[in-house]
Amino acid sequence: MASAGAETLSSQYTVPLWIGGEEIRTGTNFDVINPTTYKPIWVSCGAKKAEATLAVEAAQVAFPAWSRTKPHQRRDIFTRAADLLEKRAGEVGGYLQNETGAGSFWLDFNVSLSSEMLRDIAGRISSVTGVIPTCAQEGMHALVFKEPYGVVLGIAPWNAPFILGFRAIACALATGNTVVLKASERSPRCFWAIGSIFNEAGLPPGALNVVAHRPEDALEVIETMIAHPVVKKINFTGSTSVGRTIAATAGKHLKPILLELGGKASSLVLEDADLKLAAHWNAIGAFLHSGQICMSTERIVVHERIAGEFATLFKADIEEMHGQDSNPAPTVVTIANLQRTKSLVDSALASGATLLTGSAEPETPTSMRPVVVQNVTKDMDLYYKESFGPSVSLIVVKSAREAVEVANDTEYGLSAAVFTRDLATGLRVARQIESGLKMGVFQFATRAVHINGMTVHDEASLPHGGIKSSGFGRFGGSWAFDEFLWVKTVTFRD
């Protein structure tokens, strides 16, 4: 099959939608901007209400046949999709780099984790089983089936379009649902590639549909799809502010939703930590993909007795990884996003914070050197707000207890890290975090804690999701399968 993905990366190309197994071109187009050059790289077709409805209805038409496919048939499609993703790594990596400004590590990581995810899910498909519980009455029996919801709407962001795009659809498809994937307008060609790969892998027409839209059409398109009676479940990954709106719309229509939202991840460097290890992983965790990851390290909370030595090592690692002599300044996806980070840092500096390294002045309209801000206090917006850019706060505390209190002083609950040489200490802090153990007026809770590793950590076999303003529900492993299956109880008598 001739693939548009094989064409030269050209501003003359128009990214189509995928609906009913076909590439659909519309009369509503918009430019896609390269964040590094801030120039158009190609044009994308945009859906409006008509195309949104068409995509949902195509998924509904495909659902009866797809839901009846056998596990081995779905497994084979998923393994072929993983093979094709790896085969087309150079092509899809070009899309990712052009649309998001991603560096080489992030390109490779997106492809490798996505293909691993597809293979992990392929291996789990045959594990879906019901149960036969024992009934209270003599002669009464029950069967509990697990069945797909029907049409699922998946909404994924631009920052990791392959990992998060495949994640938004894969477990839903694997469990027999059909899907409409709403692409980010910032990376529509990446999402087009997801549809192209599954189409080439043999997924039946309509089982997966991919739509993008202009920013000004977002409300109309999303409302249309959520409100449509055949859409039975929604999953959304993105900012907390947008997540609240999506959840409110789903709630209005009484539809279940899985949300993975923003974060304000803290990394706790305890008194006995291996400081070289902590400096290394925090330098990566804070500035990987320019800090544009929901799990990015936003606060490094360091014990006062080792704060000076840690700061020296941390600064040296940042210079080695991101210094002017080694790499270009990290790129942020839009001018507005960079200005948000700059504004948070400028406001903190005006209120008494200081810089350990870096500058709040951008090198280009969309790039800035990593910034480490010291003496950040609770009266500063930077203390609480997610920066989602190349900045991190360094906060000094007097005890492990105070470190926990600082880390918990946030509306978010997605990811955290603890650095210590004592595994028992690390596990004790991790259990406090996960159990929501009350400490003073704080209740410390987050979905994942990584001991002696960075806050950015995800694997196909692990549950992933947040609590509080970071969302609810879980992607990953068998937990994600349960998100896209509902149970039906059938009773009968002898």
Catalytic residues: 260, 294
Distance CA(273)–CA(277), nearest Å, equals 8
Please, which contacts does 394-399 make with residues 24 or more away whose CB atoms are closer than 8 Å? 394/300, 394/302, 394/307, 394/311, 394/314, 394/356, 395/299, 395/300, 395/301, 395/302, 396/302, 396/303, 396/304, 396/307, 397/301, 397/302, 397/303, 397/304, 398/303, 398/304, 399/303
**For the CA atoms of the chain, what is the radius of gyration?**
23
* Token pair in block for residue 9: 């990366």
Q: How distant, in Å, are the alpha carbons of 129, 293, 298 from that of 285? A: 38, 9, 9
- Kindly provide the b/e burial profile for residues 152-190, where b requires at least 16 CB atoms within 10 angstroms of the residue's own CB: bbbbbbbbbbbbbbbbbbbbbbbbbbbbbbbbbbbbbbb
Which residues are CB-neighbours of 127 under 8 A, at least 6 positions away?
478, 481
Distance CA(271)–CA(424), nearest Å, equals 14
* Token pair in block for residue 6: 């094989």
Q: Which helix (H) or strand (E) is 205 found in, with range?
A: none
Could you tell me if 190 and 197 are in contact, meaning their C-beta atoms sit under 8 angstroms apart?
A: no
Could you tell me if 243 and 220 are in contact, meaning their C-beta atoms sit under 8 angstroms apart?
A: no
In angstroms, how far is CA 62 from the centroid of its own chain? Answer: 27
| Three-state SS annotation for 453-485 | CCCCCCCCCCCECCEECCEECCECHHHHHHHCE
Give φ, ψ of 85 to 5 degrees.
Answer: -60, -45
Amino acid present at 21: G
Sign of CA dihedral 305, 310, 312, 315: negative
Q: Are strands 442-443 and 140-148 parallel, antiparallel or unpaired?
A: unpaired
Q: Are strands 354-357 and 371-374 parallel, antiparallel or unpaired?
A: antiparallel
Tokens 């187009």 belong to 29
